[in-house]
Amino acid sequence: MDATFFFDPVCPWTWRASRWLVTVAQARGLSVEWRSFSLAILNDGKVSPEFAPVLAASSRALRLVEALHAQGRADDAGRFYTELGARTHEAGDPLSVELVEAAVAAAGLGADAPALDDDGWDEAVRASHALAYASAGPDIGSPVLMVPDADRGLHGPIFTEVPELDDALTVWDSVLPLLRMPVFHEIKRGRR
């Protein structure tokens, strides 16, 4: 894989970063591995009741992501995430159990749907989350980007909107050497 992208499907910042990476991958012929980063795990159960339903739906979705990963089905996991994002971030609807199931069907993964309710995949989700957090943390969230030949991952990049192709490639060409540079630590702007 040319890049590993750890995501929680509820995060809109993560969604925009994923669309950036998809744009870059298509233009450069890169392969992307899609892995779990759980905001529920990150927040250690300290979630306000209003966010509990979306994080529960996310946890179900991440089980399927890890089940697909275990079978080496990165493209299927990416297609599933695309369907999730289209139904949530693009449509402006909160993630729900029903939207997760609709995304499974739209991605053609009906035979894999039992993974959604199989808590046996929770350990794989925790392990994926731990890998991402150890790579880019502490004090990070979703997404995390890792590339081969880099000692550490990166939280982000974070976009206010998905960049067009030329800008997307410029960001990739800038981030890639920074990721591989052991002395690089952080670039950040305050959000407006």
- The answer to whether residue 133 scores a pLDDT higher than 90 is yes
pLDDT of residue 21: 98
pLDDT of residue 55: 94
Mean pLDDT to the nearest integer, 129-135: 97
Mean pLDDT to the nearest integer, 180-184: 92
pLDDT of residue 189: 82
Domains and CATH numbers, the chain: 3-179 (3.40.30.10)
Region of residue 26 (phi > 0: left; psi between -120 and 50: alpha; otherwise: beta): alpha
pLDDT of residue 192: 74
Q: How would residue 186 be classed by pLDDT, with cut points 50, 70 and 90?
A: confident
How far is residue 35's CA from residue 77's CA, in Å, rounded to a whole number?
Answer: 8
